[in-house]
């Protein structure tokens, strides 16, 4: 459905760019709601899933907290507390780095890797397509979004 209908907007947007900004925020909120449902059966949030993916990408090499922050989709979320949630569930472990005792090394555990594998098999179709969009279009939007952020 067109954005204007979905948010029941009577007046036109002042520009195509303003509509684009709202459209990105709206579509993101829509995707996020889908992701919450997607990960709920596994007891984690989308951000926690994101952190686990980041750690799997680096495993078996650990990452420090600031590495995780810089790789996260939402840069402003609090890596310390997210990682602590994951640790309490046994999906990651933390170790104070010996060579630089300011930093904390985070590693995904076997249990964490198993969780990701489980999620992947149950969601293997996710992200392989979007209804109504061709691969060419997806590429074009990806390029445009990259340019939009400068």
- Residues of this chain that interact with DNA (CB under 7 A) are 32-33, 36-37, 40, 45, 47-48, 64-67, 74, 76-78, 80-83, 85, 94, 100-104
Task: Give the integer Cα–Cα distance in Å for 30 and 47.
Answer: 15
Does residue 72 interact with a second copy by CB under 8 A?
A: yes
Does residue 66 interact with a second copy by CB under 8 A?
A: no
- By a kind-dependent CB cut-off of 5 to 8 A, residue 23 interacts, out of a second copy, DNA, none, with a second copy
Nearer to DNA, 24 or 36 (CB): 36
Q: How many CB atoms lie within 10 A of CB 55?
A: 26
Cβ at position 88, least distance to a second copy in Å: 25
Does residue 147 interact with a second copy by CB under 8 A?
A: yes
Nearer to a second copy, 96 or 138 (CB): 138
Does residue 12 interact with a second copy by CB under 8 A?
A: no
2, with CB counted inside 10 A (0-12, 13-18, 19+), is exposed
Measuring CA to CA, which residue among 76, 112, 77, 74 is closest to residue 94?
112
- By a kind-dependent CB cut-off of 5 to 8 A, residue 88 interacts, out of a second copy, DNA, none, with none
Bin 95: left if φ > 0, else alpha if -120 < ψ < 50, else beta. beta
Sign of torsion, CA 30 33 34 35? Answer: positive
Does residue 117 interact with a second copy by CB under 8 A?
A: no
Q: Helix, strand or coil for residue 94?
A: strand
Q: How many CB atoms lie within 10 A of CB 130?
A: 12
Q: In the complex, which residues of this chain contact a second copy (CB under 8 A)?
A: 1-3, 6-11, 14-33, 57-58, 67, 70-76, 126-133, 135, 137-142, 144-150
């Amino acid at each position: 459905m067109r954005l204007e209908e979905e948010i029941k907007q009577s007046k036109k947007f002042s520009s195509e760019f303003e509509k684009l900004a709202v459209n990105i925020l709206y579509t993101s909120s829509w995707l996020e709601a889908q992701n919450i449902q997607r990960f709920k059966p596994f007891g984690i949030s989308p951000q926690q899933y994101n952190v686990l993916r980041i750690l799997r990408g680096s495993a078996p090499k650990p990452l420090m907290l600031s590495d995780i922050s810089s790789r996260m989709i939402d840069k402003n979320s609090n890596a310390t507390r997210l990682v602590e949630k994951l640790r309490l569930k046994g999906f990651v472990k933390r170790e104070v780095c010996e060579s630089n005792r300011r930093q904390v090394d985070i590693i995904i555990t076997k249990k964490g890797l198993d969780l990701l594998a489980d999620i992947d098999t149950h969601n293997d179709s996710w992200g392989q397509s979007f209804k109504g969009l061709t691969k060419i279009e997806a590429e074009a939007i990806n390029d445009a979004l990259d340019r939009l952020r400068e």
